[in-house]
Chains A and B, each alone.
Chain A
């Protein structure tokens, strides 16, 4: 009986992972020049956020409109390390105080502040990339979920937090680089990240990390914890009266989402070469939700495609018809919510999969593996 097995990967999942791996590791690198490949690498950093949102929002019913905060914190931690390395006394000798980041010099700050100091260390910075956003998410999670703030209130408050952080970063430009962000990043331990070779390598590192996150997300989804998340989304009280401390599960999944977003943010900084508040605030945060919604809020693989497609469309449209892009994006929000609440993954499941199954059935009698049923991909509402 299939119930005995509880495998982490059904056949459908395996095919989905394999196809995505083929696309990311073979087709895109072969088919694109370095510039375009780097662009796709950038799109894929948003996929990290979208995967986290599938866990939080799709499975757990927690809609965070502040994922940009974690993406940004991860990205800024990475950027601070790279900036310090790029601000060697030789490289900055024309400044009035050589050896400090350029924006500090412009703002009459003569000394690197104490909380920048640890970012001289790569190890510390890499740990900080994940730990700082997770601690931040943990604090927010404990404060909100312990007091049973959920639903739209949680969405609004996370949005307010995104706004606060943006205002803070812009306002404190001497310490953060202000509205321009931290720019002009050059090397990682002496390795120039701006060369074509580095961009290709970073693309593959990014892809590898993305798959690591996908595997972790899959394990969470397919464990009992994944089913508890769904149960919680639909009947929170029943879960509570089945003896679970609901808040802990929400905090966990929110922190997991924050960690994914932070990894994405750090990879963004490495591949794009700068980090700025325009990836932190309200607008980017809610756009990250639409990546997830377009791909399918219940499918982690779908979320990756969603991030790729929406960003590809954004680049294409805003190059060709800048006027139309906002209209298109707005329309996308409305269409996805009204007509396709389960996004691309839902369309695939409803229209494509039955046909494929039909073709297979004609060729051979399908084997007795019925384990395709996946509550996560079942109806959302």
Chain B
């Protein structure tokens, strides 16, 4: 089973077991360049675990994950990031004691070694890039604010901004609109539509309307396995999917 080189991400036979419980079980899927893949599925289907496995947060029991023909399973988290994979967590994860500017600055892809960080200088390139990203995620007015004082939605945006500044080729978003107000939700949908243009994205989302808007293809997970895969219309018509979502 050789991965086709034109896929950006190849996941094959991925399995992880926690004391015998297989949260992800022989999972295979492929993501193409510039594709927006949405993963849906009931609670406990293993959606977040899949993202954890790809970005190295959880170690897989077996299988393979190839990104641009590099095996990710053998790499450390920071190496995976440098390879071009960005990950947003389900709950907004920002540095509350630092300002918005400093939050973005830490994610700026320069000075990542110990001595690089010691000698890092805030030059004009850094500042203009941070200003640019802040404007993209609607936070240009709040650069000097401590992240702790942001609203829930603004923290989500900040975390997305922290990913964008790394300019990853593959962006993985775990429920990016969860817990947002209706207005924030709309703004975020716009934002996501803009940022998924020139990169591949994997999104976990429950909001079907939102999924329909952005998805190139949809993968439905159930009990750690792929239940169905295809266009939104295809999976919505799939009797197995209907069974899982409505059957019980």
Interface of A toward B, CB cutoff 8 Å: 3-4, 6, 219-220, 223-225, 227-228, 230-231, 234-235, 237-246, 248-249, 252, 373, 375, 378-379
Contact = CB atoms under 8 A, between A and B. Distances in A.
Contacts of A3: 101, 122, 127, 143-144
A242 B144 contact: no
A242 B107 contact: yes
Given A238-B89, A241-B77, 20 more contacts: A3-B143, A223-B119, A224-B105, A224-B117, A225-B120, A230-B97, A230-B98, A231-B103, A231-B106, A234-B96, A237-B89, A238-B93, A241-B86, A241-B87, A245-B78, A245-B113, A248-B114, A252-B114, A375-B99, A375-B146
Contacts of B89: 237-238
Contact of B94 (A224, A235, A249): A235
Contact of A235 (B55, B82, B95, B146): B95
A91 B6 CA distance: 81
A145 to B, nearest CB: 12
A255 to B, nearest CB: 10
The 6 closest A-B pairs by CB, nearest first: A243-B81, A225-B117, A224-B120, A231-B95, A238-B93, A240-B77
B97 A249 contact: no
B109 A224 contact: no
A248 B113 CA distance: 8
B44 interface: no
Interface residues of B, number: 41
B102 interface: yes
A111 B103 CA distance: 60
Contacts of A224: 105-106, 111, 117-118, 120
A33 to B, nearest CB: 42
Contacts of B103: 231
8 contacts: A3-B143, A4-B122, A220-B118, A240-B77, A241-B55, A243-B81, A243-B82, A375-B102
Interface string B195-218: 000000000000000000000000
A245 B97 contact: no
Nearest to A146: B76
B57 interface: yes
A241 B81 contact: yes
A225 B87 contact: no
